[in-house]
Amino acid sequence: MADENTEAKPTKRRTGRSPAYPFIPVQKAIEQARALYQQEGEYECPLPSALSAWGYGPKSSGGRQTLATMKYYGLIDISGEGEQRKVKVSDIAKRIILDPREDPSERRTLIRRVALEPAAHRSLFNEYPNGLASEGTVKHFLMFDLGFKADAAGELLDEFKQTAAYAGLYEPGANEDKAEQSSSEKGEQPPTELKVGDRVQVTVDGQDLFAEGAKIIGFSEDGQWVFTDQSSAAAAIDEVSLLERGNSESPKRERPEVPSHLLKVAEERPEGTRKAVFPLDEGDVTLIFPEAITADGLGLLADYLDIFLKRERNKKEAG
């Protein structure tokens, strides 16, 4: 494992420029879960101790990316906020690394499950369920359908190929495993359902963005992006963790009717555009934007909205 002076060079991703994706393939992530368990057992440990188990110093960017990736896979549980966070190996990770049985079938099923936990992996597997298309075709899908930058698309594709090979995602029977996983026949609880009004934390590359957390005010139409009251930019669903349940009185709806209670996408809209409606006490705020908007366009829009909101807030405070 690397130390502070010899750590592997981190990927050159830029926060907010591409959707979240794993920093390491699932095989390496499982090895890191094993290293953490060997060091700490089933106990929670301070964040610096977890980073040390993975071969990183407390200020290492590679360590932060590994922390985020381990969370994407569901191999660790994190409690607390900021520098006070504590980390421990998750139940599913223990079932993978501690299974002593000669029959590996359940372990392989669990590995496939964690391999498809990251949203980027699910999108790739859903688009190419019977095997990946050519590299150029897959990169085009990642860039123009999912909003990845070119370098991030290449990094994700390389990592996903390694993950798919190790997890056997394209081996005979893998689709049956996937169906079994989604049916929850083994009694595992589904991921926590986030709702409007919940207080959450957004964590990017292992760093919490909000000191006191943020309140969910809505979701994107596909449920993959979360809007909060602390930022004009949306956060990827994989980067959001629940801190405290809200007291929203909106009735709970099951997927896929969700994504939101407060954010509505109008059925009638000009061709080639999408319309998002944010209901406030004073009235609805409507945002119309091109359906084919790029990741760069979304970033620029977030900057414009931030400027606009600050200007309007200053006007109200001055007047």
Summarize pLDDT for 190-205 with one digit per residue, the tens. 345 788 888 888 876 6
Whose CA is closest to 219, among 183, 178, 255?
255
Positive/negative CA dihedral, 172, 173, 177, 182: positive
CB crowding 15-37: b at 16 or more within 10 Å, else e: ebebbbbbbbbbebbbebbbbbb
Name every residue whose Cβ is closer than 8 Å to that of residue 202 and which is 6 or more positions away in sequence.
208, 209, 210, 214, 226, 228, 231, 235, 239, 240
Mean pLDDT of 280-286: 72
pTM, to two decimals: 0.57
pLDDT value for 205:
60
Mean pLDDT of 183-193: 44
Residue with tokens 């999408």: 274
Most confident of the following: 32-41, 115-124, 192-201, 228-237: 32-41
Summarize pLDDT for 21-42 with one digit per residue, the tens. 999 999 999 999 999 999 999 9
pLDDT value for 279:
64
DSSP for residue 239: G
How would residue 107 be classed by pLDDT, with cut points 50, 70 and 90?
Answer: very high
On the question of pLDDT at 286 being above 60, the answer is yes
Please count the CA atoms within 13 angstroms of the CA of 271 that sit on its side-chain side.
Answer: 0
Q: Are 167 and 28 in contact (CB under 8 A)?
A: no
Label residue 44 exposed, middle or buried (CB < 10 Å: 0-12, 13-18, 19+): middle
Distances (CA, A) of 50 to 45, 46, 88, 96, 238: 7, 7, 8, 19, 20
pLDDT value for 89:
95
Distances (CA, A) of 86 to 51, 83, 116: 11, 9, 25
Q: Are 180 and 174 in contact (CB under 8 A)?
A: no
On the question of pLDDT at 114 being above 70, the answer is yes
> To the nearest whole number, what is the mean pLDDT of the chain?
78
